[in-house]
A and B are shown apart, each in its own frame.
Chain A
Amino acid sequence: MKFIKFLIVGILFGIILVKSEAVSWYRIFEMFKFQSFHMYGIIGFAVGLGIVSIYIIKKTKIKSITGTEIKIPAKNKGFVNYLLGGSIFGLGWALGGACPGPMYILVGTGVFSMLIVITAATLGTFVYGLLKNKLPH
């Protein structure tokens, strides 16, 4: 069962995001109001430790568990797509209070109306795919 490890990582991810309250609409509102350190602490600590972790992974040339070389792909060059796409994402994030990870997790917490948000998000991704070549990148 090569997928079992991914299931376990997903379960951990779900538990951590609920227990950290990062899945809460209220916490996202509070973050964008700059009224609490909570979300900045979570993201800041995660990124700070992430920088060190990835540095070590690259320096030690550690192999993945399947024995392959670890490649962390660089993001493509660009500006408009990142800034504009990011801003569109931010509008939706602050309105619905959920980004793509929490959307799924919140279904597990029993908020089934989130399935509407997931359906709309899938449609949004589909429409991007249709318009991709006409948008500035």
Chain B
Amino acid sequence: MDFILNPWPWYVSGPLITLIMVLLILFGKNFGMSSNLKTLCTIGGAAKYSDFFKIDWRSFKWNLVVVLGAIIGGFIATQFLSNGTPIDLSPDTIADLKALGFSNPSTNLLPPEIYSWDSVLSLKGICILCIAGFLVGFGTRYAGGCTSGHAISGLSNLQIPSLIAVIGFFIGGLLMTHFILPLIF
């Protein structure tokens, strides 16, 4: 059981992510998580404000079911399939994080400095979550996809637009990690 309870190495996780994509293709669909955000807008009545949201959301119900499953999967993985092994971050990463003021890198999946209610209920904390979410939601629709739609599905289908999008992901990610995070923390 240890090999299930311990964190899975990249050479196990990588092919399993391909399996998810292939299953969805064989089911006649595509692997793309961010379109659910658009579906949620449509369900909320966004079509009144922009034709962009004039879609038949029922034809995307299957993807909302994938989301529901993903939430359940997250619950199962943490409750029953984990043994609390800390994340095996590189020593350099841990040193960099400590220098930024992150006290216990790797003991949780997410840093309490950002996601604990104490942090979230401060002005800085709520701004971080709202801005992060907004940028992801805006950027992913502008780019026409996210990590699953572009980095996994698009690159697997040898799409040049997806390569450009992934280069964009890295431009933004590198700017944030190297220049902006040190200003925030």
Contact = CB atoms under 8 A, between A and B. Distances in A.
Contacts of A121: 37, 133-134, 136-137, 140
B110 A124 contact: no
Contacts of A84: 142-143, 168
A86 B154 CA distance: 13
Given A10-B72, A16-B17, A120-B132, A88 B89 contact: no
Contact of A13 (B73, B92, B173): B73
Interface in B138-185: 138-148, 150-162, 164-178, 180-181
Contacts of A31: 173
B13 interface: yes
Interface string A103-132: 111111111011011111111111111101
A114 B110 CA distance: 10
A133 B37 CA distance: 19
B140 A49 contact: no
B27 A100 contact: no
Given A82-B143, A122-B137, A64 B27 contact: yes
B93 to A, nearest CB: 4
B51 to A, nearest CB: 9
Interface string B66-91: 11111111111110011000010110
Contacts of B18: 45-46, 49-50, 53
Nearest to A68: B28
A82 B138 CA distance: 12
Nearest to B34: A100
A116 B120 contact: yes
Given A96-B129, A100-B148, A70 B25 contact: yes
Interface string B21-50: 111111111100110111011001010011
A50 B153 contact: yes
Interface string A32-71: 1101111111111111111101100100001011101010
6 contacts: A36-B89, A39-B10, A46-B14, A68-B28, A100-B36, A125-B140
Given A10-B72, A11-B76, A19-B13, 13 more contacts: A6-B62, A25-B109, A31-B173, A40-B10, A64-B27, A72-B25, A87-B139, A88-B142, A91-B176, A92-B136, A116-B133, A117-B136, A124-B137
Interface of B: 4, 7-30, 33-34, 36-38, 40-41, 44, 46, 49-50, 52-53, 61-63, 65-78, 81-82, 87, 89-90, 92-93, 96-97, 105-106, 109-111, 114-117, 120, 126, 128-148, 150-162, 164-178, 180-181
Q: Which 6 A-B pairs have the closest CB atoms?
A: A10-B69, A86-B168, A14-B73, A90-B172, A45-B14, A108-B74
Interface of A: 3, 5-33, 35-51, 53-54, 57, 62, 64-66, 68, 70, 72-79, 81-101, 103-111, 113-114, 116-130, 132, 135
